[in-house]
Amino acid sequence: MKTKYFQLIFVWFSVTICFSQINFDENQVPDYILPEILLTQNGKKIETSSQWDSIRRPEILDMFKNHVYGDVCDDDIKIKFETTDVDDYALCGKAIRKNVAIHFINGTDTLTANLLIYIPSKHPDGPAPLFLGMNFFGNHTIHYDLSIPISDSYVRNNPGFNIFNNKGTEESRGVRESRWPVERIIDRGYGIATIYYGDIDPDFDDGFKNGLYKLTANCASKNPDKRSSISAWAYALSRAMDYFETDDDINQSQIIVFGHSRLGKVALWAGAVDKRFAIVISNDSGCGGAALSRRKFGETVKQINESFPHWFCKAFKDFNDKEDSLPLDQHMLIGLIAPRPVYVASAENDKWADPKGEYLSLFYSGPVYRLYGLQTFEQDSLPLINKPLWIGNMGYHIRSGDHDITRFDWERYLDFADNHFNKIK
Ligand code: GTR
């Protein structure tokens, strides 16, 4: 009993110490200078969109691979798609549901991830546009639809969701449906597709022994430090995109990649790497996502690397408490998405993710969007709560409430997509 008591005090003490080192006061944000987004490493000023695309964009992409997200060495992997289930009368006839097994094959070793897809049954304007995002607890947790197979990959325990012993269960079916308004998305004329991120790489520090990296070990041995879970998850989103290119029900030029929180970081990175994603949406992605690292507000580089050593590549740890020596910052991640539409959302109470830092990344990516003749945000202060702001190809809102993805967020994303795909009649 006594030991338990001391353990509790110890945990409380560590949490308090940890939080007391985190800054939540805007007045304590240090002065910082962001790396120049339009200045090449050789000091050349980028003046046109074609110079951006051929010189600066590849340079920045490489910096992110080398210092932040790493890369997947996939020379030894073959990909196979297998449609394991199609239901033309899903959701009471509203939708077509497909389950596509994506097999990642290296010789006799295979890793399979399930891509769950809902497409509106009626899409009179041709193949349907579609939202693609990963989920946290298994495909079967996004909806009560009994036909969704239960994931048998490792799942983080969550007693509130009936998840014990790191296994998906029938009882956890639909537990996350509030974040996935599937019927509403279908009614608005969009498809929605998801992959459970644990099918690709389990979300714990396993030294990359499981999941996708098990299959890439040979290739990755040339540069083992480049491995990161975020790059594996983003890689899988691009493989889903490869599948969409083969499916006539889906409009491959209108795929919106989105994600919440850590999976928002994944969506941004996938959208930065893979230009086929037409719109990129980050919901509360925070540190290592949309938020500027140099502001040191809320979660910091050190904090995130210590809590989740597997998310980013090894080199990112060199910047623990040394954000100013990063050759990049997160506005350059948004710049990689330009000129495509990008939407960043924050939540008022989600100080950990630094709402202002998330907004400022968009603001400071402006010079790249302007190279393409697009308008950009004009003010460096946060817009009002619950008042979405759209200019050119940029969208942002800060919603009241907590770290979550809500109906309010979804309605804004649907409107934003309608606007860019000229669906407003
Ligand atoms: C937190 C982490 C955040 C965010 C979040 C989530 O613990 O510090 O960066 O990614 O998890 O993904 O839910």
Ligand 1 centre to CA of 262 (Å) is 5
Q: State residue 132's pLDDT score.
A: 99
Question: What is the C-alpha to C-alpha distance for residues 82 and 102, in angstroms, rounded to an integer?
Answer: 7
**Residue located via tokens 């969701």:** 161
Q: State residue 10's pLDDT score.
A: 47
Question: What is the C-alpha to C-alpha distance for residues 322 and 172, in angstroms, rounded to an integer?
Answer: 41
Per-residue pLDDT of the chain (425 residues; tens, 9 = 90+): 444 454 545 445 444 445 557 999 999 999 999 999 999 999 999 999 999 999 999 999 999 999 999 999 999 999 999 999 999 999 999 999 999 999 999 999 999 999 999 999 988 788 999 999 999 999 999 999 999 999 999 999 999 999 999 999 999 999 999 999 999 999 999 999 999 999 999 999 999 999 999 999 999 898 999 999 999 999 999 999 999 999 999 999 999 999 999 999 999 999 999 999 999 999 999 999 999 999 999 999 999 999 999 999 999 999 999 999 999 999 999 999 999 999 999 999 999 999 999 999 999 999 999 999 999 999 999 999 999 999 999 999 999 999 999 999 999 999 999 999 987 65
Q: State residue 423's pLDDT score.
A: 75
Question: What is the C-alpha to C-alpha distance for residues 101 and 250, in angstroms, rounded to an integer?
Answer: 17
- CB 258 within 8 Å of CB 271: no
Q: State residue 11's pLDDT score.
A: 46
Q: State residue 355's pLDDT score.
A: 98
pTM: 0.95
Residue 395 forms beta bridges with which residues? 343, 390
Q: State residue 424's pLDDT score.
A: 65
Q: Name residues contacting ligand 1 (CB within 6 A).
A: 261-262, 286-287, 299, 304, 307
Q: State residue 15's pLDDT score.
A: 46
Ligand 1 centre to CA of 339 (Å) is 28
In this structure, the residue with its CA closest to atom 12 of ligand 1 is 262
- Of the residues 261, 293, 346, 365, only one is catalytic, namely 261
Quick check: helix, strand or coil at residue 402?
coil
Q: State residue 136's pLDDT score.
A: 98
What is the residue type of 341? P
Q: State residue 425's pLDDT score.
A: 56
403 noted as active-site residue: yes
Where do runs of H (alpha helix) occur along 158-261? 182-187, 212-215, 217-220, 229-244
